[in-house]
Amino acid sequence: MKITEQAGERHVLAVQVDNEPGILAKITGLFTARGYNIDSLTVADITEDHAISRITIVTRGPPEVIDQIQAQLERLIPVHRVTDLTEEGPHVERELALVKVTGTGEKRVEALRLADIFRARPVDTTTESFIFEITGPPEKVDSFIALMRELGLVEVGRTGVVGMMRGPARA
């Protein structure tokens, strides 16, 4: 049964891989071939020599499906480690979004007021629009975007989730 057909818990997977051409295609191909959905995907090199990358994947599924995804990822040759941050314990998640809003008069004032409450920062301002930068847990970003829809939301760009274990533990 495909993960998209099942209700399931949200999981954040941190995958350390060799930074080589084709690895991202292998990983996304694994998800595609088995009908698993990726809610969010981020990639960045994490070593000074750019040899290792960290891929953060947000997906959903019941525990047995998540275990299967983890096992299949671990079998890929350039994968060094797969950590389910959701299962490992307390972790921090963050996402960055750029949110463009148009409006004049009261809507413009309200957009600025809400941005202040959410600690979103205007990074571009014209007489007709704002681009706000907001960072935080995905739920905070979602809430801000939902409120901006009512005030003239034009466009959203999101980085996707990055996560890290709290304390000295390493993913």
Q: Does 2 score more than 70 pLDDT?
A: no
Half-sphere exposure of 152 toward its Cβ, with a 13 Å CA cutoff?
18
What span, in angstroms and rounded, lies between the C-alpha atoms of 40 and 111? Answer: 27
Cβ 41 vs Cβ 12: under 8 Å:
no
Q: Does 111 score more than 50 pLDDT?
A: yes
φ, ψ for residue 28, nearest 5 deg: -65, -30
The DSSP H or E segment spanning 41 is: strand 40-45
User: Residue 7 has what pLDDT?
Assistant: 62
User: Residue 106 has what pLDDT?
Assistant: 95
Q: What percent of the residues of the chain are helix, what percent strand, and what percent coil, each to the nearest 5?
A: 35, 40, 25
Please report, for the chain, the start and end positions of each structural domain, with discontinuous segments joined by +.
3-88, 92-164
Which residue from 65, 12, 23, 10 is spatially nearest to 171, judged by alpha carbons? 12
User: Residue 1 has what pLDDT?
Assistant: 40
Residue 96 binned pLDDT confidence (cut-offs 50, 70, 90): very high
Residue 5 binned pLDDT confidence (cut-offs 50, 70, 90): very low
Share of the chain above pLDDT 90, in %: 89
Cβ 59 vs Cβ 39: under 8 Å:
yes
The pTM (predicted TM-score) of the whole model is 0.86
Beta strands (DSSP E) in the chain are: 9-18, 40-45, 52-61, 79-84, 91-102, 121-125, 129-136, 153-158, 162-165
pLDDT digits (tens, 9 = 90+) for 6-50: 568 999 999 999 999 999 999 999 999 989 999 999 999 999 999
Q: Which amino acid is at 19?
A: N
User: Residue 3 has what pLDDT?
Assistant: 42
Q: Does 120 score more than 60 pLDDT?
A: yes
What span, in angstroms and rounded, lies between the C-alpha atoms of 86 and 11? Answer: 5
pLDDT digits (tens, 9 = 90+) for 124-162: 999 999 999 999 999 999 999 999 999 999 999 999 999
pLDDT digits (tens, 9 = 90+) for 49-84: 999 999 999 999 999 999 999 999 999 989 999 999
CATH class of 92-164: alpha beta
Coil, strand or helix: which one is 95? strand
The listed CATH number (3.30.479.30, 3.30.70.260, 3.50.30.30, 3.40.50.970) that belongs to domain 3-88: 3.30.70.260
What span, in angstroms and rounded, lies between the C-alpha atoms of 59 and 12? Answer: 7
